[in-house]
Structure 1
Amino acid sequence: MGGQIVVAVDGSAPATAAVEWAAADAARRGLDLRIVHVRGPGGTDDPARALATAAALAVQAGRTGQAGRAGQAGQTRPVGVTTEALAGNVVDTLVAESLAADSLVLGARGLGGFTGMQAGSVSVAVAGHAAAPVVVVRTPPQGRHDRVVVGFDGSGHARTAMEYAVEQARARRARLHVVSAWQIPVSSPYAAAYGSLIEVMQDADRQAHGHVVPWRQANPDLVISEEQPCEHPVSALVRAAGTADLVVVGARGLGGFAAAVLGSVGHGVLHHAACPVAVVRPRF
């Protein structure tokens, strides 16, 4: 992935956390940072102030990220930071920004959000339509776990998510944990199809493990662990998120509907995971 990381700000606390995350990610991966403020129709907020504050924070966070990578090859120049105030529909404008971006970073809920929602309507809508990976950040990091979690079911969207997760784990020098959750089909009597629940579990484990083997072989420099819980994917990923620095999911998996721009798993993880969540879709 190339280009620059784009982060959207509006002066809210989640947006501030998004800037810190984006600047640190740019420092780790040798990318520049573009900070945008989108004023919708009738907006009354002050973009100049929000952008100036975010730019100063990004420079500091980028320096911290550089210091943390001291001694690692290929990462010497400071993060370049640019800002721009934009006008228009917030979702449409941010989706347009994603076309040339490496990734797009948002706060989980902006100033217009509802306090009862973990992820705001803007972040969910953008995650469902953006061309680039969308990272939704809720709060500043509370320590490091040195672990990236990715949901994987073998689908095309999941493979693209895995590629992003591998890149993130390598840049962070972190472990990669692959969650391949599965459930017994309600409409299929497993006893008739497989003979026993044990056979169902063994078959699911074999298939899930088989999906991971090529990734482990292709990335010998990474520590890749895996689990195949008999559990709803959202529950499994949210649980794994408790000890992760980032959770990566595909925009839609094998169980998604073709008309759904953001699958139920991505939607559920966005709303309930405590750590930053990256929603990744194949680029067409």
Structure 2
Amino acid sequence: MGRAVVVGVDGSASSDEALEWAAADARRRGLGLRLVHVCEQSLLGPEAADYCAQTLQAARERAGRLAGDGVQVTTGMPSGKVIDAFVGESVTADCVVLGSRGLGGFKGLLIGSVSVGVAGHAACPVVIVRGSAGARHGRVVVGDDGSPCAGVALAYAAEQARARGVPLQVTYAWQMPVTPSHPVAYSAMLDRSSERELRAAAERLAAWRETYPDVEILGEQVIGHPAEALIKAGQQADLAVVGTRGLGGFASALLGSVSRTVLHQATCPVAIVRPRPEQA
């Protein structure tokens, strides 16, 4: 079997939503489904093994109902640290799917530390599911800034749009610089720069339409912060896809400011995509 959709299960309502999303994704894309429950024995005490096995079995039964007979379902129950376990799974996974907050999360937080940690270190796309996975808007949205990470994110977004049979909206956003004390000359320079950026974005869009002729690709160009544009677009999308780091990011940063902001504030499921070693 090839790469599978790996989903974290822990018995929480958030992980149930993640399992629903992962089962539908595996079914649509013809992939296997792997359920992973990390058994933290040091926290659960001597009855940990029985509790973990029961949690995983309950998820296995639910996955079978959700995914159907055509999806091969496997399970794993590693011990140790949760983030390390899922980062390890990510090496051979198609993607890792997590709920926004598990049993150990603080209720006031929109995104739990496990979700952020895995998204920042995983070798494959990480999908964080918040809210009902059953909501349908009929669109996938992806951010574009011309960076290599954005190109890899678009490839994943196109695959998702193709599997769902929905359009892919490519959102390109730019911010207007502060006008200096000599606005006339600066305005002309700004206009030329904006024309170059918009032309480059349009050329990328045309190239992607040639690469993915079976996907309807829509272009959106807006003035504003890229994260805000993606969060707004995500309000009418089934999935928002963003690269781990754009052109403005520091090479040492695990998650760029845009991907981190979208992850924390988007109302739809968010896929954080990092280039695999063979894509780097």
TM-score, with normalisation over the residues of structure 1?
A: 0.89
Which consecutive unaligned segments of at least 5 residues does structure 1 have?
A: 64-76
Q: Are 2:209 and 1:216 aligned? A: yes
Q: Which residue of 1 aligns with 2:172?
A: 180
Q: Confirm or deny: 8 A CA contact 2:39 2:52 kept in the other structure.
A: yes
Distance 1:185 1:125 in 2: 33
Instruction: Specify which of 262, 275, 278 is matched with residue 282 of structure 1.
Output: 275
**1:67-216 equivalences in 2 (<5 Å):** 78-186=70-178, 192-195=185-188, 199-216=192-209
Q: Which residue of 2 aligns with 1:37?
A: 37
What is the CA-CA distance between 1:191 and the residue it aligns to? 5.3
Distance 1:229 1:146 in 2: 21
Distance 2:252 2:216 in 1: 36
Which consecutive unaligned segments of at least 5 residues does structure 2 have?
A: none
What is the CA-CA distance between 1:153 and the residue it aligns to? 0.9
Q: Confirm or deny: 8 A CA contact 2:20 2:133 kept in the other structure.
A: no
Instruction: Find the residue that maps to 1:88 and give its secondary structure.
Output: coil
Q: Which residue of 2 aligns with 1:54?
A: 59
Q: Which residue of 2 aligns with 1:26?
A: 26
What is the CA-CA distance between 1:203 and the residue it aligns to? 3.6
What is the CA-CA distance between 1:128 and the residue it aligns to? 0.6
Amino acid at match of 1:94: F
Q: Confirm or deny: 8 A CA contact 2:22 2:97 kept in the other structure.
A: yes
What is the CA-CA distance between 1:62 and the residue it aligns to? 1.1
Instruction: Find the residue that maps to 2:174 and give its secondary structure.
Output: coil
Instruction: Find the residue that maps to 1:195 and give its secondary structure.
Output: helix
Distance 1:39 1:163 in 2: 34
Q: Confirm or deny: 8 A CA contact 2:18 2:133 kept in the other structure.
A: no
Amino acid at match of 2:250: F
What is the CA-CA distance between 1:140 and the residue it aligns to? 2.1
Distance 2:231 2:7 in 1: 24
Distance 2:79 2:178 in 1: 48
Instruction: Find the residue that maps to 1:248 and give its secondary structure.
Output: strand
Instruction: Find the residue that maps to 1:83 and give its secondary structure.
Output: strand
Amino acid at match of 1:35: L
Distance 2:34 2:258 in 1: 29
Distance 2:180 2:242 in 1: 27
Instruction: Find the residue that maps to 2:140 and give its secondary structure.
Output: strand
Q: Which residue of 1 aligns with 2:246?
A: 253
Amino acid at match of 2:245: R
Distance 1:156 1:188 in 2: 32
What is the CA-CA distance between 1:84 and the residue it aligns to? 1.8
Distance 1:217 1:42 in 2: 53
TM-score, with normalisation over the residues of structure 2?
A: 0.91
Distance 1:16 1:25 in 2: 14
Stretches (4+) displaced over 3 A: 185-194, 196-204
Distance 2:134 2:184 in 1: 46
Q: Which residue of 1 aligns with 2:3?
A: 3
Instruction: Find the residue that maps to 1:38 and give its secondary structure.
Output: coil
Q: Which residue of 2 aligns with 1:264?
A: 257
Amino acid at match of 1:117: L
Q: Confirm or deny: 8 A CA contact 1:5 1:101 kept in the other structure.
A: yes
What is the CA-CA distance between 1:39 and the residue it aligns to? 2.4
| Structure 1 residues 13-67: Cα deviation after superposition (integer angstroms, max 9, x where no partner) | 110000010010000011111101112362216212221221122112213xxxx
Amino acid at match of 2:253: A
| Structure 1 residues 245-280: Cα deviation after superposition (integer angstroms, max 9, x where no partner) | 101000111111111011111111110111110000
Q: Confirm or deny: 8 A CA contact 1:117 1:271 kept in the other structure.
A: no
Amino acid at match of 1:88: G
**CA RMSD, aligned part only?**
1.9
Distance 2:191 2:134 in 1: 40
Amino acid at match of 1:143: A
Q: Are 2:223 and 1:230 aligned? A: yes
